[in-house]
Amino acid sequence: MNDNIKYTPDNITTLGQDEVFVFGSNLAGLHCGGAARVALQKFGAKMGQGVGMQGQSYAIPTMQGGVDTIKPYVDQFIDLATEWDQTTFYVTRIGCGIAGFTDEQIAPLFDRAYDLYNVRLPESFARIIERNRKNVANHS
């Protein structure tokens, strides 16, 4: 692991020009609570848009079902982050607030993002991914 890795701060109030706030949303794009509300108030999220780039924010739907329904949206985000390598993405603890999932359920969805230098994950997600990778390595 890179010793100077940066994690997503717990409380983001400002962003630089090439920085994006990644938050959990619902498909209807009703950004009323949690990080979605912050995205709406501060980072250009659009009411009624539940997926993708909007202003300096990126919505990942987390309210439509189980973890398996979130994964395709996370994969879309990771693909975008791979292409937009000059942009830094700050992933919040998507799905771990109002949606009611645990860090252990959501973090593995971001395994591919862990290796991208332009994606910052919550420290809890990063630690879970590191632990899971270590366990796989120890069992092979």
Domain assignment present for residue 60? The answer is yes
Number of domains in the chain: 1
Long-range Cβ contacts of 46-54 (<8 Å, 24+ apart)? 50/25, 50/26, 51/25, 51/27, 51/76, 52/76, 53/20, 53/80
13 occurs within a structural domain:
no
pLDDT at 137 (0 to 100): 87
8 within some domain: no
- CA-CA distance, 34 to 117, in Å (whole number)? 26
pLDDT in tens, 87-110: 999 999 999 999 999 999 999 999
Burial environment of residue 127 by CB neighbours within 10 A (0 to 12, 13 to 18, 19 or more): middle
pLDDT at 6: 85
Q: Is 64 within the bounds of a domain?
A: yes
* pLDDT number for residue 116: 96
Is 14 inside any structural domain? no
Q: Is residue 59 part of a domain?
A: yes
Question: What confidence score (pLDDT) does residue 123 get?
Answer: 97
State the residue range of the domain holding 115.
19-138
Residue 67 lies in a domain: yes
Mean pLDDT within 112-126: 97
Q: What is the CATH number of the domain that holds 95?
A: 3.40.220.10
Predicted TM-score (pTM) of this structure: 0.94
Condensed to tens digits (0 to 9), the pLDDT of residues 31-89 reads 999 999 999 999 999 999 999 999 999 999 999 999 999 999 999 999 999 999 999 99
Phi, psi of 48 (to 5 degrees): 95, -5
Asked if the structure places residue 5 within a domain, the reply is: no
